[in-house]
Structure 1
Amino acid sequence: MTRDDLTHFIQESLVFEDDTADALDAESLYGLYVSWCHINSTRPEPEESFSSACKRQGRLRRRRHHGAYTGLRMQGPAARDYVMHNDACWSL
């Protein structure tokens, strides 16, 4: 995964908000990334590679707390795609 790919993913698919309790767990963050890759016709990296790239990027690592990335919410086409195709969203 290139830095540009990760930067584009973050810019297009995530909103950072310090004053919110919103959070994304690691599974949802990776699922959002896979949806973003699908929309952008790129092959997703394995989850471990994606996680390592996020840690190297720094912005996401600082927000991780108790298995969730706090202060994050989904946005954009990848968010819609992820929600529409994720069974967990519909099994409440």
Structure 2
Amino acid sequence: MLQGAFSHEPQATLNLFRRLGGRLPVHAADCLQQVALLPGGGWQASDSWRFDAVPAGTRALISCVPVVAKAVIAAAIAATEAPRAFGAMTRCLQTK
């Protein structure tokens, strides 16, 4: 599961899913990272935004990219620079 926009889902919404038990494990990602589905059905999360090497036996590799609102970028930098900064950030994520 991936954290949605805070305007729709309050921060820490995913904490509920981390506490639920079940037959199959659920990985709740609230940051930029990769997770690998392992043969036993468990998840292994990357220590940084990606794995340096895919874990042995990986059955599926999922890249978790949280929502980034343009308003958040505008609040962090000059509003006139927000569209360019947002474009540069998403291009960077696409090429890595």
Under a length normalisation based on structure 2, what TM-score does the superposition of the two structures give?
Answer: 0.25
The answer to which structure, 1 or 2, has the higher relative contact order (CA under 8 A, 6+ apart) is: 1
Under a length normalisation based on structure 1, what TM-score does the superposition of the two structures give?
Answer: 0.26
